[in-house]
Structure 1
């Protein structure tokens, strides 16, 4: 289940809608930029609504040693993403998931050499929309895997895709671990939304 929402609330409204744990309050206190605080809160409200829609009380989030968020007192899997004015969350009852939301922007062209493999660079052919799909899909894979020993160029790979195709095939390739995953990529909200599962 995915929740994508435009952020229309202010910080006070979002805070009043949530009961943050002490670690969550400490993390929020470390965020100094006002817009990032609102996005952080909006993500938690999005995931709370997903959990409560399943008829289960929401107890908050905790992060593991890699910084990946997990539901407190629940085996379900979640992932969060935000960008200016938007918050997204995904919930799956039985398998890891990753989500990313991105506006389509020229920055993707500047990061190509460190993000895409040679094969992906050739396929993207400097097309901004394809570059955005690669970036967003790889971010979702990174969040799904949830550990920090990954580089986008060397360990995360997306198979070539047709323009306007919304179902992609991705791979996490490490010396001691390899898996193939599906990624749904949609044009929505500020640009793109990718969900890896």
Structure 2
């Protein structure tokens, strides 16, 4: 399947999502990889990860980029050679890329009940407005995780903790947006965040 969804957030920011239905060979055939990318691909033990990696290169092409336009810094954060900001995600059968003139982060997660078991590892303040008896409890936890993961990708700073340094303001699922804050080493910063659901997955992204 080609491009699954495009979200034009504003004139500077676009999100593109790919549903990964192609085989490894079909994904690989039209793509040219830098030697280091080819080595990285070959070293992946799971074909699911390999297909995710390649689908991201197809999303780059949708933005007019190639693998050669992408590089990673020492913290593993992706960058584009033209100076635009980029964030990348893939989860099982979906991948996503956000490109902007401002700093951004994106995450896609499968909605799974087991997130309840690890909630105490990434939720603190948010427990004040969450209720595990609510029908949408799993969905809301997944949104919170996705937002915090997006913020972590945006900053890519070692030492940041989901539970201690990121907080997500109360939200309703129907609104598909909320505000989040980073409070880290004297830095306090507010971010607008958006989220959407599709086919049992949640995509969240943070806008700098």
TM-score, structure 2 normalization: 0.85
Please list every run of 5 or more consecutive structure 2 residues that lacks an aligned counterpart in the other structure: 1-13
Query: Contact between 1:76 and 1:91, CA under 8 Å: does it hold in 2?
Result: yes
Offset of 1:189 from its aligned partner? 4.2
Taking only aligned residues, the RMSD between alpha carbons, in angstroms, comes to: 1.6
Q: Distance in 1 between matches of 2:22 and 2:198?
A: 20
Query: Contact between 1:112 and 1:121, CA under 8 Å: does it hold in 2?
Result: no
Distance change (3 Å), C-alpha of 1:139 and 1:120: same
Q: Distance in 2 between matches of 1:189 and 1:40?
A: 20
SS in 1 for 2:175: coil
Q: How many residues align?
A: 190
TM-score, structure 1 normalization: 0.90
Report the equivalent of 1:187. Answer: 197
Please list every run of 5 or more consecutive structure 1 residues that lacks an aligned counterpart in the other structure: none
Q: Distance in 2 between matches of 1:128 and 1:29?
A: 35
More divergent stretch after superposition (107-116 vs 182-191): 182-191
SS in 1 for 2:146: helix
Offset of 1:91 from its aligned partner? 0.6
Pair 1:151-2:161 in alignment: yes
Report the equivalent of 2:25. Answer: 12
Report the equivalent of 1:115. Answer: 122
Aligned to 1:106, which of 113, 125, 136?
A: 113
Runs (4+) of structure 1 exceeding 4 A deviation are none
Report the equivalent of 1:173. Answer: 183
Report the equivalent of 2:79. Answer: 70
Q: Distance in 2 between matches of 1:86 and 1:47?
A: 14
Query: Contact between 1:20 and 1:60, CA under 8 Å: does it hold in 2?
Result: no
